[in-house]
A and B are shown apart, each in its own frame.
Chain A
Amino acid sequence: MADLLRRVAERADTTAFRELYQTYGPRVKAYMMRLGADAGTAEDLAHETLLTVWRNAALYRAEKGSAASWIFAIARNLRIDRLRREVPWQQLPHELFEEASGEALPDAALAEKEQHARVHTALSGLPPEQHEVVVLSYLEGLSHGEIAQRLGLPLGTVKSRIRIAYQKIRTALEDLR
């Protein structure tokens, strides 16, 4: 996927772009619908997400995360901007990517595949109550307080479940970072 982005950035390669569109368009639409958008709005937002990918492909840096992470961040920010309308100044992902942190992965393409596989494994290995709080954060956009309310749990319990879930994912990624 990082390779497709590079082809878009370097040669404005429309074939590479179509592949990205077909892979991520329907999933970004599903993501937007999951977060409360109707089908038409969700498709508009998916289209806009991919438009941003097309325009900003040159700003993508493979060593700062996978192509899918970058596209997720674009979709997330667009969702916050359009569906929540609460954070007008949420940074676009490329602003974060632009600043050098001095850390680089040895082999970005390999790492991307490996990272995805490990995150998937770590996520599916989580006990249901930890998996649930992660999904409610990412796919329902619920804050800690809202999750606590939804599940009838103390705020501290929600936070500690999220922390434990994150620690397990972090451990799974440890030697890749």
Chain B
Amino acid sequence: MTITHHLDDATLMSFAAGALPAALSAVAAAHVAMCPHCRSEVVALEGVGAALLTALPAARMERAEPTTPYAAGPTPSQQRGEASAAPMQSPTLLARLLPLGLDAVRWRWLGLGVWHHQLPVKGNGALGLLKVAPGRIVPEHGHGGSELTLVLRGSFHDTTGRYRTGDVADLDETVEHEPVADPGPDCVCLFASETPARFRGLIARLVQPWHGL
């Protein structure tokens, strides 16, 4: 998997800071899990967090630190054994979101050649999967706010290039583009938008060209 479309620098910093809205954070985490480049960016940006953390004036601790640290917890060496035994699959986050895998998703028909599956997310944003048949338009989630689209299967293209598995579209809200799914398997994307309002817009946009409006 060669990833050519990455998260925007501003998105990466907000993600590393722990300030990205929940839905966007989920898509960013899924991309980071697949992308060594963005992973190393996140590590560097966690260094910024470390610098800010260590520069904070120390708060007074009310309680003394534990003299025998956490005797009840597992010792570090036990933990090491557990960790190496645990299967580390990439992307782990997707496995948690979709324990039965992509093929078990129950799709809801949205329009001609487009299906949707909503995922639970806290906060105001929308998180979900989109499945788009070849040649059909991948619905955008609107303008004026942040949105992220991560390709999980298949590919799509627009004026900004071709997006394959692992690529994320993190486009400035001012960019006008009309992504179209490529020939081959249905294109499946994980998408997030900052507000649910834009998600309603998404359905409207989808129906529009079909009805010739």
Contacts and interface: CB of A to CB of B under 8 A. Distances in A.
Interface of A: 8-10, 12, 14, 17-18, 21-22, 24-31, 33-34, 39-40, 42-43, 46-47, 51, 54-59, 64-66, 68-73, 75-77, 79-80, 84-91, 93-96, 98-99, 101-103, 115-116, 119-120, 123, 134-135, 137-145, 155-156, 158-160, 162-163, 165-167, 169-170, 173, 177
26 contacts: A12-B76, A17-B69, A18-B65, A22-B65, A33-B59, A39-B59, A46-B61, A51-B70, A54-B73, A54-B76, A59-B79, A66-B50, A71-B50, A72-B46, A76-B17, A89-B29, A89-B93, A89-B96, A96-B42, A135-B52, A137-B17, A142-B19, A158-B10, A167-B9, A169-B48, A173-B44
B56 A34 contact: yes
Given A12-B76, A144-B146, A156-B172, A31 B56 contact: yes
A87 B26 contact: yes
Nearest to A96: B39
A17 B70 CA distance: 11
B79 A56 contact: yes
Given A25-B65, A34-B56, A94-B83, A99 B90 contact: yes
B40 A141 contact: no
B142 to A, nearest CB: 14
A174 to B, nearest CB: 10
B47 A119 contact: yes
Contacts, number: 238
B22 A87 contact: yes
Contacts of B62: 39-40, 43
B59 A102 contact: no
Given A17-B69, A51-B73, A159-B8, A68 B19 contact: no
Given A14-B68, A31-B56, A57-B76, A177 B61 contact: no
B12 interface: yes
Nearest to A161: B10
Contact of A55 (B18, B40, B74, B146): B74
Interface of B: 8-10, 12-14, 17-22, 25-26, 29, 32-33, 36, 39-40, 42-63, 65-70, 73-77, 79-80, 83, 88, 90, 92-93, 96-97, 121-123, 145-146, 172-174, 194
Contacts of B60: 26
A170 to B, nearest CB: 7
A84 B93 CA distance: 19
A58 B40 CA distance: 20
Contacts of B97: 89
B14 A69 contact: no
Which of B9, B50, B79 has most chain A Cβ within 10 Å? B50
Nearest to B51: A119
Contacts of A69: 43, 46-47, 49-50
